[in-house]
Amino acid sequence: MYKSYSMELAGRMLTVDVDRVCAQSNGAVMMHYGDTTVLSTCTASEKPRDGIDFFPLSVEYEEKMYAVGKFPGGFKKREGRASDNAILTARVIDRPMRPLFPKDYRNDVLLNNTVLSVDQDASPELLAMLGSSLATAISDVPFDGPCATTQVGMIAGEFILNPGNGEKAVSDLLLTVASTKEKVIMIEAGANELPEEKMIEAIYLAHETNQQIIGFFESIIAECGKEKHSYESSAIPEAVFEKMKSVVSPEEMEKAVFTDEKQERDANISALSERLVEAFQDDEEALAILPDAIYQYEKKTVRKMILKDHKRPDGRAIDQIRPLEAEVDLLPRVHGSAMFKRGQTQILNVTTLAPLSEVQKVEGMNEFETEKRYLHQYNFPGYSVGEAKASRGPGRREIGHGALAEKALIPVLPPVEEFPYAIRSVSETMESNGSTSMASTCASCMSLMAAGVPIRKPVAGISCGLVTGETDEDYLVLTDIQGLEDFFGDMDFKVTGTRDGITAIQMDIKIHGLTRPIVEEAIKRAREARLFIMDGVMKDAIAEPRKELSPYAPKIITLQIETDKIGDVIGKQGKTITAIIEETGAKIDIDDNGMVSISGIDLAALERAKEIILSIVNDIEPGQILEGTVVRMMNFGAFVQLSPTKDGMVHISKLSDKRVNEVEDVVHIGDKVRVKVIEVDKMGRINLSMRPQDLAE
């Protein structure tokens, strides 16, 4: 018999089934929230993986399309590569969980989450976060949990706990906060320029809710939790550190890392490593762990320098930003381009505009998200960090960085009614030494403005770091962390926003949570830094969006027609719309609501296509003067095509103000003529005149 536990959470029942399925995993729970069901499992290898110096944690989030009653797309009709949403969800699960495992644990651990049923009012992503924590906490895998996660939305100024997909679609805030019993351990947010104080209020509303969930989880763990298994520690023996210090003194290590040039620092460490390898030649056991020991020695040195001496490796002040550079219009033929550089981090961003027919179709479990109009994609080639590494396509990190920069800019994009374009922004990492995602945000903002996208306000971003001591009060927040401070520090707190508020947050930490003073100081520092970046360099490169699009960007004209006229514009077997495209060279798209998008490079051709479409959908009325083409002649008159679906006749007596003996004396097939509508009879037949006196009236 399995055990079932329930609690009320934000107006819905959260139910946990233990020992119902997956008995051979280390820990498994079936989570229910509303009608959403997710299976979460934790499985660990029996022995540590050899030859690694990191904790091999893997997190999977599997979206099964049967959960929403759909067939998977594609020829095979089977789930394949994880969607971007699944990858981003797995990353959000990983970030709060990873710091709670022992630092010296080297057994493989897989956290697997399978979405079995989806209720649009209850987030499966949230349920997977909760399930991963609880499955691990009740397992025999060493884990300093549980942690809990809550999502917060905001509609009309009111906070909503764990909003459904419909509420998320209209919310001004999408915040996810994970907590331990004492502290906040992860923050992920997208917001419509939320003021800093309001964001902090939302974060700690979620933190309070997390405490209720943790209390619920602890009661389950007390009854169902397994005893944690012992493991082989990979910690470096203190004797190894002592011998290393006798070969390379702490002062020498400090001098080696104290430089603002990454390449010089790497060369210094390489030279010291060679001395240490030589010193340990006769100790095979120590030699095997020496690379990790050197890393730990360097880490301790950097942390001591920062925390105790307030000295950063590149000599900057604690709140000082690295040198900034910005420029636009690097690439002549693209629609918009910009370069942003901060220290040794450099991003080239390129913007491409396209008709709305190019929006990305999204096949997923959220019925409120079926397409994406704005895409931000991020690339991280090996040359950006001096590595001879071939590209194998975007990994989870690249997808995550692109999604963060995308989230940062969405709140300031113009509505589709004002700017009917699909927009693709691509960030190419030219050089990397810390926080390329924030440089991507700055570069993409300038690139969009250079392309003429009328964004409402500029957006910038910065990352703050943290080094902590033995107590909660012993810490130092760093503005604009470089790679070394990220690797050896305790936090990567990324915040983007405008002058008026926050648009996105992503917080990663390596410790067991942050106190409220640290969170508040990091958010304050991030605001000061982004304003400095906008005023100090971005404004000088480009202060506002260009009024005109690039001559190489497509021009788009939109018009709304009645839905019952869509068939008239398309025509039988598409012949009418094909003829318009062939005549004008324009690209024409019509959606089910009657929105017509006409795009191309030649504006005159687009206006002609619009004119033709209007002539099809608008009723012909007496008194109108129109232009048409002679398409057929009879002995009694000429037939003139007014639109692809409408012809009128000019009687021979109306061809001229003089007597006409033969129709061919005045017009020929293919002639462009101006005509006036004299009559539309009861049969819908259109009678026209070409007489000058009629056209003059």
| Beta-carbon contacts of residue 153 (< 8 Å; ≥ 6 apart) | 159, 160, 163, 167, 168, 171, 172, 173, 174, 175
Three-state secondary structure of 224-268: HCCCCCCCCCCCCCHHHHHHHHHHCCHHHHHHHHCCCCHHHHHHH
Residue 235, domain member (yes or no): no
User: Does residue 548 sit within a domain?
Assistant: no
The pLDDT value given to residue 322: 95
Q: By residue range, what is the domain housing residue 387?
A: 324-541
How confident is residue 1, by pLDDT bands cut at 50, 70 and 90?
Answer: confident
pLDDT one-digit tens code per residue, 224-241: 999 999 999 999 999 999
Is residue 438 pLDDT above 90, yes or no? yes
The one-letter amino acid code at 494 reads K
Check whether the bond before 146 is cis (ω within 30° of 0). Answer: yes
Q: Is 681 annotated as a binding residue?
A: no
Judge whether 176 and 379 are in contact, CB under 8 Å: no
User: Of 173, 195, 224, at which residue does a domain stop?
Assistant: 224
Q: How much is the pLDDT for 263? A: 87
**Same domain, yes or no: 212 and 274:** no
pLDDT, position 659: 92
Whole-angstrom Cα distance, residue 483 to residue 337? 26
Task: Find tokens 């927040």 and name the residue.
Answer: 477
Strands in 422-431's sheet, in edge-to-edge order, are: 324-328, 336-342, 345-354, 422-431, 374-379
Q: Which residues contact 88 (CB under 8 A, 6 or more apart)?
A: 399, 400, 403
Domain boundary among 224, 248, 271: 224
DSSP 3-state of 546: coil
Mean pLDDT of the chain: 94
Indicate whether 260 pLDDT > 80.
no
Mean pLDDT on 364-384: 93
Does 105 lie in the same domain as 53? yes
DSSP, res 650: E
Summarize the confidence of residues 129-157 as an average pLDDT. Answer: 97
Q: Are residues 423 and 527 in the same domain?
A: yes
Question: Cβ neighbours of residue 219 under 8 Å, at least 6 residues apart?
Answer: 5
pLDDT-based confidence at residue 306 (cuts at 50, 70, 90): very high
Residue 10 corresponds to which tokens in the numbers above?
A: 């934000």
Number of domains, the chain: 5
pLDDT value for 67: 96
- One domain for residues 588 and 638: no
pLDDT band at 615 (very low <50, low <70, confident <90, very high): confident
The string of pLDDT tens digits covering residues 47-73 is 999 888 899 999 999 999 999 999 998
* pLDDT of res. 307: 92
What average pLDDT does the segment 449-463 reach?
97
Residue 460 has pLDDT above 90, yes or no: yes
Residues 8 and 64 in one domain: yes
Q: In what order do the strands lie in the sheet with 12-18?
A: 3-9, 12-18, 27-33, 36-48, 107-117, 57-63
Report in angstroms the alpha-carbon separations of 458 from 336, 395, 450.
15, 29, 12
Q: Is 285's pLDDT higher than 90?
A: no
Q: Which of 124, 11, 116, 5 is nearest to 65 (CA)?
A: 116
Does 256 lie in the same domain as 212? no
Considering the domain architecture, whether residues 282 and 334 belong to the same structural domain is answered as no
pTM for this predicted structure:
0.89
- At 259, which CATH number? 1.10.10
Chosen domain end from 309, 333, 352: 309
pLDDT band at 288 (very low <50, low <70, confident <90, very high): confident
Q: Is the pLDDT of residue 646 over 90?
A: no
Tokens at residue 429, please?
């990492």
The single-letter DSSP state of residue 393 is S
Per-residue pLDDT, averaged over 273-292, amounts to: 90
The radius of gyration of the chain from alpha carbons, rounded to an integer in Å, stands at 33
Structure tokens at 667: 């017009």
Evaluate if residue 525 carries a pLDDT over 90: yes
Residue 442, domain CATH: 3.30.230.70
Residues 663, 653: Cα–Cα separation, whole Å: 10
pLDDT tens by residue, 23-49: 999 999 999 999 999 999 999 999 999
For residue 651, give the CATH number of its domain. Answer: 2.40.50.140
- Per-residue pLDDT tens over the stretch 553-562: 999 999 999 9
234 part of a folded domain? no
CATH number where 595 lies: 3.30.1370.10
382 and 449 share one domain: yes
Per-residue confidence (pLDDT) for residue 643, from 0 to 100: 84
Alpha helices in 544-677 (DSSP H): 566-570, 575-584, 603-617
Give the E-state strand segments of 71-121 in sequence order.
107-117
148-156: average pLDDT: 98
Please report the pLDDT score of residue 166 as a whole number.
Answer: 94
Is there a domain that residue 233 lies in?
no
Residues 190 and 86 in one domain: yes
Task: Please check whether residue 46 lies inside any domain of the structure.
Answer: yes
611 closest CA partner among 628, 635, 594: 628
Residue 363: CB atoms within 10 Å: 12
| Domain identity same for 214 and 267 | no
pLDDT at 82 over 90: yes
Question: What pLDDT does 420 receive?
Answer: 92
Which of 425-429, 485-489, 646-650 has the highest average model confidence (pLDDT)? Answer: 425-429
Q: What are phi and psi of 373, to 5 degrees?
A: -85, -35
Of 101-105, 203-207, 387-391, 413-417, which gets the smallest average pLDDT?
387-391
Contacts of residue 305, defined as CB under 8 A and 6 or more positions apart, other chains included, come to 254, 257, 258, 311, 312, 313
pLDDT digits (tens, 9 = 90+) for 649-669: 999 999 998 999 999 999 999
Answer yes or no: is pLDDT of 258 > 90.
Answer: no
Q: What is the largest CA-CA distance in the chain?
A: 117
Whole-number Å distance between alpha carbons of 459 and 443: 10
> For 308-335, what is the mean pLDDT?
94
pLDDT band for position 162 (cuts 50, 70, 90): very high
Within 628-679, residue ranges assigned H as helices are: none
Q: Give the closest residue to 479 by CA, choosing from 422, 539, 523, 511.
A: 523
pLDDT band for position 116 (50/70/90)?
A: very high
| Distance (Å, whole) CA 610 – CA 673 | 19
DSSP letter for each residue of 420-470? --EEEEEEEEEE-SS-HHHHHHHHHHHHHHHTT---SS--EEEEEEEEE-S
Averaged pLDDT for residues 352-368: 91
- SS3 annotation, 379-412: ECCHHHHCCCCCCCCCCHHHHHHHHHHHHHHHHH
Q: What dihedral do alpha carbons 377, 381, 385, 388 form, nearest 10°?
A: 170
Q: Within 10 Å of residue 45's Cβ, how many Cβ atoms?
A: 13
Mean pLDDT confidence for 506-510:
94
Task: Give residue-wise pLDDT tens across range 163-173.
Answer: 999 999 999 99
Asked if residue 481 and residue 414 are part of one domain, the reply reads yes
SS3 288: helix
Residue 34 included in any domain = yes
126 and 55, same structural domain? Answer: yes
| Averaged pLDDT for residues 574-598 | 91
Confidence of residue 262 (pLDDT cuts 50, 70, 90): confident
What is the helix (H) or strand (E) element at residue 505, kind and residue range?
strand 502-509
- Quick check: 697 pLDDT over 80? no
For residue 32, give the H/E element and its range.
strand 27-33
In a domain, 180, yes or no: yes
Residue 391's pLDDT is what? 84
Both tokens of 177, joined, read: 């906060």
Q: Per the domain annotation, does 379 fall within a domain? A: yes
The pLDDT > 90 percentage for the chain reads: 84
